[in-house]
Amino acid sequence: MKLKTALKYSDVTSEHTYMNRRALLAGMVGAGVLGATGARAQDKPEFKINGFDTTETPNTFEEITTYNNFYEFGTDKGDPAKYASALTTDPWSVEIDGLVERPGSYGLGDILSKMDIDERIYRFRCVEAWSMVIPWNGFELRQLLQLAGIQSKAKYVRFETLYRPEEMRGQQRPLLDWPYVEGLRLDEAMHPLTLMATGLYGKELPNQNGAPLRLVVPWKYGFKSIKSVVKITLTDKQPVNTWKAINHREYGFYSNVNPEVSHPRWTQSSERRIGGGVFAKRIETVKFNGYEEQVADLYKGMDLTVQY
């Protein structure tokens, strides 16, 4: 099913309703009784049951939306929730250029009308050694890149965040070299795990979480999952991502979750799961954030202690 408009807050009323509906639909798919009625008849988002989900319990909507890194709105974890309401997200468009067959400005509504909206419950691991489990809604990035047409010389994908200091108060200070930039190798971008998120818990993506469109790459540290994307460029050169430009010793281009490679200032062998309290027991970090089976082949032959 193609989603004609952005997901609405009214689609799902609570985490409890969301998870119960999801479990019900999973059972219906297993029993082979999910027909073209109900959600489809009302043009509601289709809940697809897939093999990408973690079985861990998701964090609450409140936890996910009140504990964020989004320096465009401030450096404290609570700043995005306080100040991101100033951001205007409608209308929204994404410029796609570089080594593509159909460069141009793509309106978000037009993009969504052509995408398959899925739901994924992903682990999220911050480079600061805290983590969450988040139920995203969105579409695979490869669908959007294929829509624009990938030229044969393309090897990398560069992403850029909105620059609008009158609404994004953090951009009024030279904390980073604005606008924020990230990048992926093309095969990483085309991997089916790589998501462009448009919502969470079946609701529209809140501003503080990167509305209306953000990247989610679950096997990499969270800063790779760039928020509020307005530009995508396909290129034959490796982009210089913002944090690597600031401090290449501490932040690499690949930034795969790797408990075997410590950050220069702290270990990455364990993490603190948000929601467990300040003194919550730390849990062991696993390589590629638990997605090793799906993505390890992307890095075959690479020394991940050097190409970090």
Residue from 259, 271, 255 nearest 182 by CA? 255
**Exposed e or buried b per residue across 223-262, where buried means at least 16 C-beta atoms within 10 angstroms of its C-beta:** bbbbbbbbbbbbbeeebebbbbeeeeeebbbbbbbbbebe
Q: Is 49 one of the annotated binding-site residues?
A: no
- Determine whether the annotation assigns residue 68 to a binding site: yes
Q: Is 95 annotated as a binding residue?
A: no
Contact 24, 30 (CB under 8 A): no
Coil, helix or strand for 97?
Answer: strand
Residues 226, 205: Cα–Cα separation, whole Å: 14
Tell me whether residue 167 is annotated as binding.
no
- Flag whether 59 is marked binding: no
> What is the amino acid identity at position 247?
N
Is 72 annotated for ligand binding?
yes
Q: Are 198 and 137 in contact (CB under 8 A)?
A: yes
> Is 256 annotated to bind ligand?
no
Residue that is written with structure tokens 């932040």 in the block: 251
- The answer on whether 71 is annotated among ligand-binding residues is yes
227 known ligand binder: yes
Side chain identity, residue 180: Y
State yes or no: 22 annotated in a binding site: no
Binding residues for Mo-molybdopterin: 68, 71-72, 126, 161, 209, 214, 225-227
Binding residues: 68, 71-72, 126, 161, 209, 214, 225-227
